[in-house]
Amino acid sequence: MNSILRKTLIAAAVAGTFSANAATIWSVDSNGTTAGVQQVISSEGLAIAGNTIAVGNEGGASTEELQVSWTPAINHADGDAVIFTFTGVAIDSSTAVSGLALVDSTGTELAGTDVIGLDTDEGTVTVSISDASLSAFDTVETTAVTGYLSGVVLDLDGSTSVAVQSYSQRNQIVFDQAAATSVATIASQYTLGATGDTALNGEIDVTASRYVFTNADASETDTTLDTFDITVSTASQLLTTTGTSVVHTVTTTGNFDFTLDSDGEFDTATVDSTVTGATAVVESLNTDQDELTITATGDVDNVQGVFQFHVPGDVTLVESSFTADDS
């Protein structure tokens, strides 16, 4: 009885000491320089990359990998295990234990560590501390060591974010737990916006045969036009895809009677598309004249631009509102 009691008290004391410490998990920005910055992964880039992304480090400079770092808060000993769990995302079946590692800031595997387990169903990776004296894990209290997971392939199909948590284990005792930390979100890298005199409220000058607007947009030098701009901009993203081109489509809904010529056909001159990074721009109007689609093809990272709609002064406009979506 006394022996059991003593062992129980010792275990409780050890667990209490461990629980006062907590490891830290964080990601870095797309240049691999700023700790704690949550990554944004391009949904368009993922589509080209087959909805997968690698977790790695490559010396902290890669923009094609999701970086997940781990800093323990307590010394680890021989035989300890560190278990990492991914949530919100699945570990892709192409991940192999033989390719997994815990590496340093240069991408070199940390001495004294060995990946001994992978469970794609549970989303876990298990790292064993095989010889703490060969690594920095026995000097954590004076010199914190940071390891980066490497070799994990994540399947982000249907995911909106990626979170990682960890805990260490010694003789069935759990310690140095890191709370689940969101390290990345998945979002479109493109943003739509409207600029200029978006009200389309040019007033016709009746003394000029109704061909001139008296209050056209101040930036419009041609007073026979009333214009508004739809802009497509691209944000800086984590994932630089290996694809060479992308097709970017903006569809604007509203009343586009003003784009018809005297024969009732769509007049492309009514839309001025200035798209940087595009090798081709195609404009089309549906038969009901309420959806105008602009498709730009070009460099995967740089298709962006301004689509300006020119409203001639010799047409009658009905009151309209316009919306835009991109894909």
Q: pLDDT tens digits for 205-214?
A: 666 666 666 6
Termini Cα distance of the chain: 70
Tell me the mean pLDDT in the region 200-219.
63
Out of 97-101, 109-113, 188-192, least confident range: 188-192
What pLDDT does residue 118 have?
Answer: 97
Fold of 190-326: Immunoglobulin-like (2.60.40)
pLDDT band at 6 (very low <50, low <70, confident <90, very high): very low
Residue 24: which pLDDT band, with cuts at 50, 70 and 90? Answer: confident
Long-range contacts of 203-207 (CB under 8 A, 24+ apart): 204/313
pLDDT value for 146: 84
Q: Is 224 within 8 Å of 208 (Cβ atoms)?
A: no
Mean model confidence pLDDT for the chain: 74
What value does the mean pLDDT take over residues 23-49? 68
Alpha carbon of residue 213 to chain centroid:
44
Question: For position 28, what pLDDT does the model report?
Answer: 56
* pTM listed for this prediction: 0.66
- For residues 142-168, average pLDDT: 89
Query: How far is residue 59's CA from residue 103's CA, in Å, rounded to a whole number?
Result: 9
H or E segment and range at residue 10: helix 2-19
Q: For domain 2-187, give its CATH number from 3.30.420, 1.25.40, 2.60.40, 3.30.70.
A: 2.60.40
Question: Amino acid letter at 151?
Answer: G
In this predicted model, which residue has the larger pLDDT, 306 or 98? 98
Instruction: Report d(CA 183, CA 181) in Å as an integer.
Output: 6
Question: pLDDT tens digit string along 72-106?
Answer: 888 888 889 999 999 999 999 999 999 999 998 88
9 has a pLDDT exceeding 70 = no
C-alpha 68/C-alpha 125 separation (Å) is: 13
* Residues 309, 271: Cα–Cα separation, whole Å: 5
Tokens of 207: 């003394």
Residue 53's nearest CA partner among 228, 74, 45 is 45
Q: Confidence class of residue 12 from pLDDT cuts 50, 70 and 90?
A: very low
Q: Do domains 2-187 and 190-326 have the same CATH topology?
A: yes
**Extents of the domains making up the chain:** 2-187, 190-326
How far CA 195 is from CA of 55, 130, 229, 231, 299, in Å, comes to: 39, 60, 5, 7, 24
